[in-house]
Structure 1
Amino acid sequence: MKIKDLTVNASLDIFLLVKEMEEDMTRNNDSYVKFLLSDGENDIHGIMWSTSVKKLGEGVEPGKVIKIRAAVRSYKDNLQLNITNCRPVTDKDNVNINAFIKDAPLNSEDMFNSFLQEVEKFSNNDLKNIVKKLLMDNRMKLIYYPAAKKVHHAVRGGLLYHMYRMLKNAQSMACVYNQYINKELLFSGVILHDIGKVKELNSSELGIVEDYSKEGKLLGHIVEGVIMVHDAADKLGTPLEIELLLKHMIVSHHGLEENGSPKKPMTLEAQILHYLDEIDASVYQFEEALGNTSKGEFSDKQFFLGNIQLYRNEL
């Protein structure tokens, strides 16, 4: 059975992957555990009352598949599992964890190699060298890292997939708006804008983020990205102008101060990078929601898109 097949008031036993779990307390100081669970295609929230993470024991933890006994409930217009019992899987269950992992639609190695091939075309050797260094230095993590803990591209290889789609769009835009764009600088910014996420997030090789790292909580991926560019530039002797432009693209790619950017975009390449990032993140959220919505129907409310329901047209 898949999450998309669940109906309200159904009772069931089901195997699901734990993506997140968190202990909380009721007003009466009774502990309970909240889950985010996945079947490899879709996610669902679950809750187990009158228990604690310690009571659930080893094996019921993020990154593990567990067997759940639950009833399906509706909560704030979304389905939720009211869990009565759960346990780790055993060999007798014959469960393949990879069946519960959602991957980016494209192969990570292929995407990574496509970045290297594009960078090799650069005529500016300083840009070529710094981008190649940062790619190669972080290759192992980039192959499996998601782009976020949740919201957009939160899948194995999601960070590369996010970068890949942005680069494809950047290549097209550089042909249209070609009067003042330095396309090699734009492409470099696209590839490096989220490089700090490999330090911001603690991800397993399954692409599951259990939590933010200490650096992620104290600094965030924007600051980490700037540090990584600075360190690479220092080792390579990169000209200050190039180092500064790359840093500016990283610090401004969220666009507005209230969205986490210390600076607004002040170069054309930084402005285009910001909009490419916004487009790809929001389109991905639309794709995820509409993929679980029938034609002519509305999706569940999408909290990170302003709590709106999305309509899948009948065309």
Structure 2
Amino acid sequence: MQQHTSIKLLNDKEPITDRVFLVKDKVKGTGKNGRAFLSLLIGDKSGHIDARVWDRVDEISDLFDIGDLISVKGLVQVYQGRKQIIVHKLEKADQNQFKKEDFLLEDVKIDVHALFAEMMSIVSTVQSPPIRQILTDSLQDDEIKELLLKAPAAKSIHHAKRGGLLEHIVSICKMMKLVASHYNYLNEDLLIFGAIFHDIGKVWELEINREQIQYSHKGRLLGHMQLACELIDRKSQRILGFPEDLREILKHIVLSHHGKLEYGSPVRPYIMEAFVVASIDELDSKMDTMFGFIKDERETGDSWSRYSEHFERYFYLQDLKGRWT
């Protein structure tokens, strides 16, 4: 692959000539003058940089998606203290000519086997025999275990990487232990079940093809909540004397975990444990998204981030952990 100047070392007014970048974000916007523009976050192994398209916005936007490789010609410009590329020409690169991993920043590797062992250790603390049994039977299922060890938690936004779903599950399990110890009137077993099962349908809903996370045929038709409820039925029917009222509660926790109807749940949480599952799921998802955004933004060396469309704000990039200790 052709060697280019590191993104961090690009200078104001430096020309960019047919350089290939990975698209990390793409947002259409309208300027104060009413003129449409396309805001991009593009990058390679050396970092990332904002880019702006001001001409033929709709036409160019339709050429590519987030996660695609594009070839860019333009000019570096410093605007409000941040470097960006003003795009003069943009084409979708031949996806077969390049390896996408050559354009990704090195990330921390997830030890999925250690996470799986940690999750099973938490399952062993579940006191309710039927809940412990359905968790064990599901997680030790050869198909589910194989898929879970590599599944992402989302197509984009949070934990969107190999092993991301398991990382998300274990993170929530740990928080459920803390919540249950503080609010001792909650059923900890139901919280642990919700932590593990709320997104387990994503092992079938999402798939990774050429390092691109995509929805499967089954995932598009049914969705991960329906797939998880089918799993509850399938596994519970094989457990002698599994309580019918418990089966309904377990399904309710899964179906309500998006918290609100407008967020995609067919029902709102009607029990405290379901409310906690929805709340902690949202917290963990947002924290992973926020930390990933801030970590990437710190690569620029600036004090403040670019505007986050997802969180609708700028972020101060100073690392405050341990600063005054």
Q: Normalized against structure 1, the TM-score is what?
A: 0.74
Provide the secondary structure at the position in 1 that maps to 2:315.
strand
Identity %: 27
TM-aligned CA deviation for residue 146 of structure 1: 1.1
Secondary structure of the 2:123 match is helix
Indicate the residue corresponding to 1:218 in structure 2.
221
Question: Cα offset for 1:298?
Answer: 2.6
Q: In the TM superposition, what is the alpha-carbon distance from 1:129 to its structure 2 partner?
A: 1.6
- Show structure 2 runs of 5+ residues with no match: 27-39, 321-325
Report whether the alignment pairs 1:273 with 2:277: yes
Corresponding residue for residue 168 of structure 1: 174
1:8-66 alpha-carbon deviations (Å, 9 max, x no partner): 76415656568899xxxxxxxxxxxxx9976469778999x999x9xx9xxx99999x6
Task: Give yes or no for the alignment of 1:184 onto 2:189.
Answer: yes
Q: Whole-Å Cα distance in 2 between the matches of residues 4 and 230 of structure 1?
A: 53
What amino acid is aligned across from residue 255 of structure 1 in structure 2? G
Structure 1 contact 296–314 (Cα < 8 Å) conserved: no
Q: Residue 152 of structure 1: which of 155, 158, 164 is its match?
A: 158
Counterpart-to-counterpart distance in 1, 2:198 and 2:9: 38
For 1:234 and 1:72, locate their aligned partners in 2 and report how far apart those are by CA, in whole Å: 63
Match of residue 37 from structure 2: none
Deviations 1:90-134 (A, max 9, x none): 7xx9x7948837656531111111111111232322111211222
Tell me, yes or no, if the aligned pair for 2:152 and 2:162 is still in contact at 8 Å: yes
What count of residue pairs does the alignment treat as equivalent? 289
Quick check: 1:104–1:158 contact (8 Å CA) kept in 2? no
3-state SS, counterpart of residue 296 of structure 2: coil
Structure 1 equivalent of residue 256 of structure 2 = 252
What SS does structure 2 have at the residue aligned with 1:301?
coil
Q: 1:86 aligns with which of 88, 93, 107?
A: 93
Match of 2:35 in 1: none
Kindly provide the amino acid, as one letter, of the partner of residue 298 in structure 1. W
SS in 2 for 1:83: strand
Evaluate the alpha carbon distance shift between residue 243 and residue 282 of structure 1 in structure 2; reply closer, same or farther with a 3 A threshold: same
Q: Which residue of 1 aligns with 2:314?
A: 309
Could you tell me whether the CA contact under 8 Å between 1:104 and 1:161 is conserved in 2? Answer: no
Match of 1:300 among 297, 303, 306: 306
Q: Which amino acid aligns with 1:195?
A: I
Q: Which runs of 5+ in 1 are unaligned?
A: 22-34
1:240 aligns with 2:247: no
CA RMSD of aligned residues (A): 4.0
Match of 2:135 in 1: 131
Once residues 41 and 165 of structure 1 are traced to their aligned partners in structure 2, the CA distance between those partners, rounded to angstroms, is 30
**Who is 2:202 aligned against?**
197
Instruction: Name 1:282's counterpart in structure 2.
Output: 286
Task: Indicate the residue corresponding to 2:117 in structure 1.
Answer: 113
Instruction: Give the distance between the partners of 2:90 and 2:106, measured in 1 at CA.
Output: 23
2:219 & 2:48 partners in 1: Cα distance?
A: 24
Distance of 1:196 and 1:5 partners within structure 2:
44
Decide whether the 8 Å contact of 2:22 with 2:103 is kept in 1. Answer: no
Structure 2 Cα separation of the partners of residues 192 and 139 of structure 1? 13
Q: Is the 8 A contact 2:20 2:72 kept in 1?
A: no
CA distance in structure 1 between the partners assigned to 2:138 and 2:176 by the alignment? 20
Whole-Å separation in 1 of the counterparts to 2:247 and 2:278 = 18
Give the C-alpha shift of residue 259 in structure 1: 0.8
Letter in 2 for 1:185: L
User: TM-score with structure 2 length normalisation?
Assistant: 0.72
Question: Which letter does structure 1 place at the counterpart of 2:158?
Answer: H
Give 1 or 2 for the bigger CA radius of gyration: 2
Deviation sequence 1:196-233 (CA, Å, 0-9, x none)? 11222232384x31x32233223221122111211111
* 1:253 match: secondary structure: coil
* Superposed CA offset, 1:122-172 (max 9, x none): 232211121122223311111111111111111121111111211111111
Residue equivalent to 1:32: none
Structure 1 CA distance, aligned partners of 2:192 and 2:273? 9
Could you tell me which amino acid in structure 2 is paired with residue 186 of structure 1?
L
Cα contact 1:144–1:205 (8 A) shared by 2: no
Q: In the alignment, which residue of structure 2 is the partner of 1:291? A: 295
Conserved? CA contact 2:25–2:66, under 8 Å: yes
> Partners in 1 of 2:170 and 2:247 — Cα distance?
22
1:18–1:84: structure 2 CA closer, same or farther, 3 Å change rule? closer
Q: Is the 8 A contact 2:198 2:254 kept in 1?
A: yes
Instruction: Give the Cα separation in 2 of the matches to 1:215 and 1:36.
Output: 31
1:252 positional shift: 0.7
Structure 2 distance, partners of 1:199, 1:43, is: 32
Aligned AA for 2:159? H
